Amino acid sequence: KTGVILALDVTKKEEALLISKEVAGFVDAIKIGYPLVLGTGLSIAKDLSKIAPVIADFKVADIPNTDRLICEHVFSAGCDAVIVQGFTGSDSLMECVKTANEFQRKVFVVAEMSHPGGDYFFTDAVSKEIAALAKKAGAFGIVAPATRPERVKELRAVIGKDLKIISPGVGAQGGSAADTIKAGADWVIVGRSIYGAKDPKAEAEKIKKEIEKLI
């Protein structure tokens, strides 16, 4: 385990495959989302899954039936996990988890977002409520902000040890990988500072080593 997930927000297939192959040994998974999937099509998931497990960051946030239809597509396309929003409520969340279980895949629930405006609606009470809901629904883990490690710590206290925490916001958004892991995250999610670097492989290795030092 490296403790690093690559957020692959490039929009061209060739670039996506090239960077993924370069950093493959230094990341545990590749997170794909709208930028890449709208740019290349969902078939990119199969290609990338040959390199590393793929997390589909579609922040699914709909009624249970629509959520199921989205999740079925995502898992059939070869994704190992999906990221969903939790504010839709327990029935939507439970449907995502149920669908994931049928495919033997995983669900991560966004508990709080990392950008400066991310704690406006995701207040302390709301984030904790979503984290508790994620646990109750049987999600694999939550998404918590690396830009606010103290929030990672608080949310870890809510979910206990059974759920995983993946944290975006390291590098380009100002968060530190070491601080985030120390606060209780299992993986940091890193996009621009890896794929935008002159040497993505060296950058990924640097972050992996920063995390390794903590063990």
Report the nearest approach of ligand BMP to the CB of residue 77 (Å): 18
Report the nearest approach of ligand BMP to the CB of residue 59 (Å): 7
Dist CA 29 CA 126 (whole Å) = 28
Residue placing its CB nearer to ligand BMP in the complex, 37 or 65: 37
Q: Is 59 considered catalytic here?
A: yes
Dist CA 186 CA 35 (whole Å) = 25
| DSSP codes of every residue in 144-199 | --TT-HHHHHHHHHHH-SSSEEEEE-BSTTSB-HHHHHHTT-SEEEE-HHHHTSSS
Residues 6/191, Cβ–Cβ less than 8 Å: yes
Catalytic hit among 13, 21, 59, 98: 59
Residue placing its CB nearer to ligand BMP in the complex, 75 or 108: 108
Residue placing its CB nearer to ligand BMP in the complex, 104 or 141: 141
Report the nearest approach of ligand BMP to the CB of residue 188 (Å): 9
Q: Which residue is nearest to ligand BMP (CB)?
A: 191
Which of 203, 181, 178 is CA-nearest to residue 192? 203
Report the nearest approach of ligand BMP to the CB of residue 166 (Å): 9
Residue placing its CB nearer to ligand BMP in the complex, 64 or 175: 175
Maximum Cα interatomic distance, the chain, rounded to a whole number of Å: 45
Identify the three-state secondary structure at position 143.
strand
Point out which residues bind ligand BMP (CB under 6 A): 7, 9, 33, 57, 110, 113-114, 118, 143, 145, 168-169, 171-173, 189-192
Residues with catalytic roles: 59
